[in-house]
A and B are shown apart, each in its own frame.
Chain A
Amino acid sequence: GQNIDQPTEMTATEGAIVQINCTYQTSGFNGLFWYQQHAGEAPTFLSYNVLDGLEEKGRFSSFLSRSKGYSYLLLKELQMKDSASYLCAVRVAGGYNKLIFGAGTRLAVHP
């Protein structure tokens, strides 16, 4: 079966660093996406990891370990506008653009 786990909710303080973890068990793997979704809006692309290692993009970094079925999204210098849901999604093998999504992590950033 397909299973993607991420924490349901997290809270953090403005200016701090937060790490959102994602573990997956899927029938094959062809990459992992992180999306940000504000309430009532569409998912916005944050990162895409195909190979193991860390990808850094400004305040956001994403890490992937394929052997462990594990990824994390690291958000630095948190801002109030980072309060949103963060979705982990796996592109399954042979699935082209078929993504399996986790339930999402709701992040609340407090002053």
Chain B
Amino acid sequence: KAGVTQTPRYLIKTRGQQVTLSCSPISGHRSVSWYQQTPGQGLQFLFEYFSETQRNKGNFPGRFSGRQFSNSRSEMNVSTLELGDSALYLCASSLNGQPSSGNTIYFGEGSWLTVV
């Protein structure tokens, strides 16, 4: 079955612009989470959605937002882009986020964002 799909894979934006990234989870997965990866900070949690509701939020400014649709697809948006937002943005999905052994978290290929 198809894995986690993210679009676009690569994009270049200018400071001050805004960007929207899209994620389609594995079929049947209802929990979607987003992470930012940079060389300096590593992988950091942005937020998580389940049944169209944000369940968790990381320590990022309000310029970072997200949403989930009824088909579990998710988008994240970054407004007023800064140079420091250049990063790999990763989407991950799981069945429902419960800690049972079958509730593995799988990552997508990521969206590489460069802000110039």
- Give residues in A with beta carbon < 8 Å to B: 30-31, 33, 35, 41-45, 48, 50-51, 87, 89, 91, 95-104
Q: How distant is A97 from chain B, measured CB to nearest CB, in Å?
A: 4
Measured CB to CB, the nearest residue on chain A to B95 is A97
Stretch at the interface among B11-19, B65-73, B79-87, B101-109: B101-109
Q: Is the CB of A96 within 8 A of B45?
A: no
Contact B42 A104 (CB under 8 A): yes
**Are A97 and B110 neighbours in the complex by a CB distance under 8 Å?**
no
Bound: A87/B92 CA distance, A: 15
Closest-CB distance, A35 to chain B (whole angstroms): 7
Contact A98 B48 (CB under 8 A): yes
- Do B50 and A96 touch (CB < 8 A)? yes
Q: In the complex, how many angstroms separate the beta carbon of A5 from the nearest chain B beta carbon?
A: 12
Contact call B56/A97, Cβ cutoff below 8 A: yes
A45 to B32, CA, bound (A): 16
Interface pair B31/A97, CB less than 8 Å apart: yes
The answer on a CB contact under 8 Å between A96 and B109 is: no
Q: Does B58 contact A (CB under 8 A)?
A: yes
Report the interface size for chain B: residues with CB under 8 A from the other chain. Answer: 30
- Known contacts A30-B99, A48-B101, A95 near B56 by CB under 8 Å: yes
Question: Provided the pairs A97-B94, A103-B42 are in contact, do residues A35 and B99 lie with their beta carbons within 8 angstroms?
Answer: no
Residue B43, interface by CB 8 Å: yes
Given A30-B99, A50-B99, the answer on whether A96 and B43 have CB atoms closer than 8 Å is no
Task: Report the separation of the CA atoms of residues A48 and B106 in the bound assembly, to the nearest whole angstrom.
Answer: 11
Counting residue pairs across A and B whose Cβ atoms lie within 8 Å, the total is: 69
A-side binding surface: helix, strand, loop or mixed?
A: loop
| A/B interface sample: 25 pairs, CB < 8 A | A33-B104, A33-B105, A35-B107, A42-B110, A44-B107, A45-B106, A45-B107, A48-B101, A48-B104, A50-B99, A50-B100, A50-B101, A91-B99, A96-B31, A97-B33, A97-B55, A97-B56, A97-B92, A98-B45, A99-B43, A99-B105, A101-B44, A102-B42, A103-B42, A104-B42
Please, how many angstroms separate the alpha-carbon atoms of A88 and B47 in the complex?
19
A51 proximity list for chain B (CB < 8 A): 101
